[in-house]
Amino acid sequence: MSFEEFLSELIKFRNYPPEEINIIEKAFNFGQKIFEGIYRKNGEPFFNHCIRTALNLSTLKMDYESICAGLLHDSLEDAGIKKEDLEKEFGKNITFLVEAVTKIGEIKYKEKNLQQAENIRRLILYIAEDLRVAILKLADRLDNMRTLQFLPKEKIQRIALETYDVYAPLALRLGLFEWASELDDLSFKYLNPEKYKEIEEEAKKRITGIIELVPEITKQLEEEIKKRNIKLYEIQYRIKRPSSIYKKLQKKGGDFDQIYDLVAFRIIVSTIDECYMVLGILHSLFKPILEEFDDYITYPKANGYQSLHTTVLIDKDKYIEFQIRTLEMHLKAERGIASYFAYADFKETKEYKKGKNLSALKDEDLRFIKELTKWKEAILNSKNPEEFLKELKTDILSEKIYVFTPKGEVIELPKGSTVLDFAYKIHSEIGHSFAGARVNNKIVPIYYEPKTGDIIEIITNKNKRPSPDWLSIVKTYNAKKHIRSYLKKFHFSEIKQNFDIKLVARDRIGLLRDISNIIASQGINIIAVKTQTKNKIAILKLTIRVTNKDEVEKLKNLLKRKIEEIIKIE
């Protein structure tokens, strides 16, 4: 692709001033030269990947520095360019972005989970400095996932799993819904190809007869909306991806008949009032499925997503979901947090001029970014990268619920949190003095997991204080941090309990000794051992004394990594 062809694609999404286009052209020519003669696994020129990464960024209307970084993002690693030379040519900001993406992926460990943990730790630290690092990394990963089939099978599985675990949820939390959906779908396609194909084929059968009705429904809606003088920008439709269908099937007990949104329309209007007017039109034309209605305008998702969702019956056994939103909501849904870099007024802020460190911004939409900056301290203080990665996935990347205080304040928590987590989310002292909880006016146990929409009241007692067993009840990093801090301050020791583990391994001399040494290295006592050997297969049943189940799982993972003879451990 020539620069002229690249530029014609670039300006479809954003008009860059001449001085910025000159720098982009310089980056294009520089990248084309340094990547000359370097090819990818599929035989194509390596620079093609850099061009596609930059064009991915252009769809989000990213600034010129991001576009340049997309063109140059592999230059330090794959083209052997020195940081000093890059900085001399393109300045500190572009060089920082290129170096950040390079350093995120440069750590190599024999233990892949440690490698992933360290890379994600770096990613979060760089995001806290400049949000564009995350968007650049996602643009890079998106193109890599689209061309993943050319890599060795083992590498495909590793990259797909990391994408599913970390990058798809990260894109979702940043509000990049289309990218998140595609990353999740491609991950599922490689991780579970047979299931993917099965769902894809079944979905195709079921949407037959619905797709044919799309033009008629679109025309009918346009006419009804026009009658009411509502400003209509656009009506779109999409077909649900197999990965999304699979997740919904899990919630619906595997029943395909309970999936009502295989086809979904987006109706984009001007104002919030018009959104609710269109909702009324839909419900007057078609029979709504009440349990499939969600109001994300009143109750936005954690990533700021807003829309009305309603599912209606359009014909016998044929359902369509409608998403109704304003143009502003739609643009935000398309570009997420990246939309801030398209706003001219944002470019005049101090935060932009300081390298887009967003931690000082007050806007509620940047709640997730503020949350990430708070993790900097946790990252720097964490001595266990695997534990950090687990907490990151729980607190930041997991699905969220939204509950209420008795005064009506909305509180966001990771799904699976307990009422004790809720208490610590309100304030550490509320958590420390937790004596009970009421959910929707009913007393619940300390381990109760609330659902979206619940109203939670915490009962406190100034004489109550945290106990070590609370650590096995809470799920969030915030709650665990405050409990551990209290226990350490007042010299509590965590309560230990007995757990049984069973190992099946190929027998050899010294097997039990090596397993025992690893367990002892973690400060864990073995209470009892039972062994049995048959046909050179050893079965070991161990009773160990630990603080909680998390400690057991960490030990299991360590044993699997260190003892290659282990076949199974449970």
For residue 329, the SS3 value is helix
Beta strand pairing call for 456-460 and 434-439: antiparallel
Q: Is the CB of residue 96 less than 8 Å from the CB of residue 55?
A: no
Distances (CA, A) of 518 to 371, 523, 524, 533: 36, 9, 9, 21
Q: Is the CB of residue 413 less than 8 Å from the CB of residue 425?
A: yes
d(CA 565, CA 550): 23
DSSP 7: H
Adjacent-strand bridge partners of 443: 438
DSSP 335: H
Q: Name, in order, each residue with C-beta under 8 angstroms of 92's C-beta and a sequence gap of 6 or more.
A: none
Q: Is the CB of residue 470 less than 8 Å from the CB of residue 481?
A: no
d(CA 566, CA 69): 45
d(CA 472, CA 54): 45
Query: ∠ at Cα 8 (179, 81), nearest 5°?
Result: 70
Q: Is the CB of residue 437 less than 8 Å from the CB of residue 443?
A: yes
Adjacent-strand bridge partners of 438: 443, 457
Catalytic, out of 20, 77, 294, 469: 77
Catalytic, out of 20, 78, 351, 387: 78
Tokens for 281, please give them. 């039109």
Per the annotation, the verdict on 257 as an active-site residue is no
Per the annotation, the verdict on 391 as an active-site residue is no
Q: What's the per-residue H, E or C state across 287-326? A: EECHHHCEECCCCCCCCCCCCEEEEEEEECCEEEEEEEEE
Beta strand pairing call for 537-546 and 525-534: antiparallel
**Active site members:** 77-78
